[in-house]
Amino acid sequence: MNTNASTELTPRPVDDPGVEPHVLSYRASDPEVDKEAERRVIACFGLSALFALSSVVIYFAVPHTIAIRVGSFDGNLHNVLFGVTMGLGILLIGLGVIMWARNLMNDEELTEERHDPASSEETRTEVLVMLSDGVRDSGVARRRFLMGSLGGALGLFALPLIVTLADMGPWPTKRVRQQTIERTLFAEATPQKPIRLVNDVSWKPLRAADLEIGQLVNAQPENLRELHDVEYQQAKAKSSIILVRMDPDSIKIPESRRDWQVSGILCYSKICTHVGCPITLWEQQTHHLLCPCHQSTFDLGNSGNVVFGPAARSLPQLKIGVDGEGYLIATQDFTVPVGPSYFERDSRNDFKEGDA
Amino acid sequence: MAKPAPVADTRDPGSATTTSKRAVSARDIDLPPVMVKQGGPLAKWADDRLGVGGLSKFLMRKIFPDHWSFLLGEIALWSFIVLLITGVFLTIWFKPSMAEVEYVGSYQLMKGMMMSQAFASTIDISMDIRGGLLLRQMHHWAALLFVAAMFTHAARIFFTGAFRKPREINWLIGVGLLFLGTMAGFSGYSLPDDLLSGTGLRFADGLMRSIPLIGTWAEFFVFNGQFPGDLIVSRLYMVHILLIPGLILGLIAAHMVIMVYQKHTQFPGPGRTEHNVVGYPLFPVYIAKMTGFFFIVFGTITLFGALVSINPVWTYGPYNPSQVTAGSQPDWYMGWVEGAVRIMPGWESHWGHTTWSWNVFVPGVILLGAFFTLMALWPWIEHWFTGDERNHNLLDRPQDNPTRTAFGVAIITFMLLLQFGGANDIIATHFKLSLNAISWFLRFAIFVVPVIAFWVTKRICLGLKKGDQERLLHGSPTGEVHRDANGAYIEDHVPISHEEAFALTAIDAPEPLTVAAQADAHGVRRTDGDVSAMRARASHWWSESNIPHPTREELEEAHSHHGDGHEIEPADKH
What's residue B544's pLDDT? 86
Q: Which residues of B touch A91 (CB under 8 A)?
A: 295-296, 298-300, 302-303
The closest alpha carbon to B301, from B145, B181, B152, B69, belongs to: B145
The answer to whether A23 contacts chain B (CB < 8 Å) is no
The answer to whether A104 contacts chain B (CB < 8 Å) is no
What is the residue-wise DSSP string for A200-235? TTT-PBPBGGGPPTT-EEEEEEGGGGG--HHHHHHH
Q: What is the DSSP letter of B540?
A: H
Give the confidence band of A253 by pLDDT, cuts at 50, 70, 90.
very high
Whether residues A346 and B355 touch (CB distance < 8 A) is answered with yes
What is the residue-wise DSSP string for A283-336? ETTTTEEE-TTT--EEEGGGTTEEEESS--SPPPEE-EEE-TTSBEEE-S--SS
The answer to whether A96 contacts chain B (CB < 8 Å) is yes
A residues 238-257 closer than 8 Å to B (CB): 238, 240
B residues 108-167 closer than 8 Å to A (CB): 128, 130-131, 133-134, 137, 166
What's residue A107's pLDDT? 87
Whether residues B280 and A109 touch (CB distance < 8 A) is answered with yes
The closest alpha carbon to B274, from B552, B550, B501, B506, belongs to: B506
**CB contact at 8 A, A4 and B256:** no
Q: Which residues of A touch B386 (CB under 8 A)?
A: 4
A354: left (phi over 0), alpha (psi -120 to 50) or beta: left
Predicted structure pTM score: 0.91
Task: Identify which has the larger pLDDT, B533 or A196.
Answer: A196
Among the partner residues B289, B321, B499, nearest to A20 by beta-carbon distance: B499
Q: Which residues of B touch A177 (CB under 8 A)?
A: 216
Domain ranges of chain A: 26-104, 182-349
Which H or E element spans position B276? strand B276-281
The closest alpha carbon to A310, from B440, B501, B428, B282, belongs to: B440
Average pLDDT estimate for A216-224: 96
How far A258 CA sits from the closest chain B CA (Å)? 27
Residue A7 in this model has a pLDDT that exceeds 50: no
What's residue A142's pLDDT? 85
Q: What are phi and psi of B308, to 5 degrees?
A: -120, 110
Residue A145 in this model has a pLDDT that exceeds 50: yes
CATH assignment, A182-349: 2.102.10.10
The answer to whether B312 contacts chain A (CB < 8 Å) is no
Burial A22-60 (b: 16+ CB within 10 A, else e): eeeeebeeeeeebeebeeebeebeebbeebbebbeebbe
How far A133 CA sits from the closest chain B CA (Å)? 29
**CB contact at 8 A, A298 and A288:** yes
pLDDT tens-digit profile of A163-184? 999 999 999 999 999 999 999 9
What's residue B12's pLDDT? 45
**Which one-letter amino acid corresponds to residue B389?**
E
d(CA B232, CA B225): 10
B residues 453-482 closer than 8 Å to A (CB): none
Percent of all residues in chain A with a pLDDT value above 90, rounded to a whole number: 82
Compute the C-alpha angle A121/A122/A124, nearest 5°. 65
Domain ranges of chain B: 15-61, 72-317+325-396, 474-573
* ipTM score assigned to the predicted complex: 0.93
Second CATH level (architecture) for the domain B72-317+325-396: Up-down Bundle (1.20)
pLDDT tens-digit profile of B470-520? 999 999 988 899 898 888 998 888 989 999 999 999 988 888 888 765 555
Whether residues A14 and B555 touch (CB distance < 8 A) is answered with yes
Q: What are phi and psi of B525, to 5 degrees?
A: -65, 135
Q: Which residues of B touch A84 (CB under 8 A)?
A: 303, 306-307
The answer to whether B261 contacts chain A (CB < 8 Å) is yes
> Which regions of chain B are under pLDDT 70?
1-29, 31-39, 516-529, 561-574
Give the confidence band of A27 by pLDDT, cuts at 50, 70, 90.
confident
Find, in chain A, the residue whose alpha carbon is nearest to that of B359.
Answer: A310
Half-sphere exposure of B460 (CA within 13 A, CB side): 12
A residues 158-177 closer than 8 Å to B (CB): 165, 168-172, 176-177
Averaged pLDDT of chain A: 92
What's residue A346's pLDDT? 95
Find, in chain A, the residue whose alpha carbon is nearest to that of B423.
Answer: A294
Tell which of B217, B226, B236, B320 to mutate to test the A interface (max A CBs under 10 Å).
B226
Neighbours of B548 (CB within 10 A): 11
Tell which of A47, A90, A240 to mutate to test the B interface (max B CBs under 10 Å).
A90
**CB contact at 8 A, A309 and A297:** yes
Whether residues B229 and A170 touch (CB distance < 8 A) is answered with no
H helices of A100-139, where? 121-138
B residues 166-195 closer than 8 Å to A (CB): 166
Q: Is A86 helix (H, G, I), strand (E, B) or coil?
A: helix
Cα B446 to Cα A182, B437, B475, B523, distances in angstroms: 37, 14, 42, 48
d(CA A272, CA A283): 16
How far B121 CA sits from the closest chain A CA (Å)? 17
What's residue A276's pLDDT? 95
Neighbours of A334 (CB within 10 A): 22
d(CA B12, CA B23): 8
Among the partner residues A3, A280, A343, nearest to B212 by beta-carbon distance: A343
B residues 404-433 closer than 8 Å to A (CB): 424-425
How far A200 CA sits from the closest chain B CA (Å)? 9
**CB contact at 8 A, B374 and B530:** no
Neighbours of A119 (CB within 10 A): 11
Burial B370-391 (b: 16+ CB within 10 A, else e): ebeeebbebbeebbebbbbbbb
pLDDT tens-digit profile of A37-65? 999 999 999 999 999 999 999 999 999 99
The answer to whether B78 contacts chain A (CB < 8 Å) is no
Q: Is A29 helix (H, G, I), strand (E, B) or coil?
A: helix
d(CA B25, CA B32): 14
Q: Which residues of B touch A116 (CB under 8 A)?
A: 391
What's residue B86's pLDDT? 98
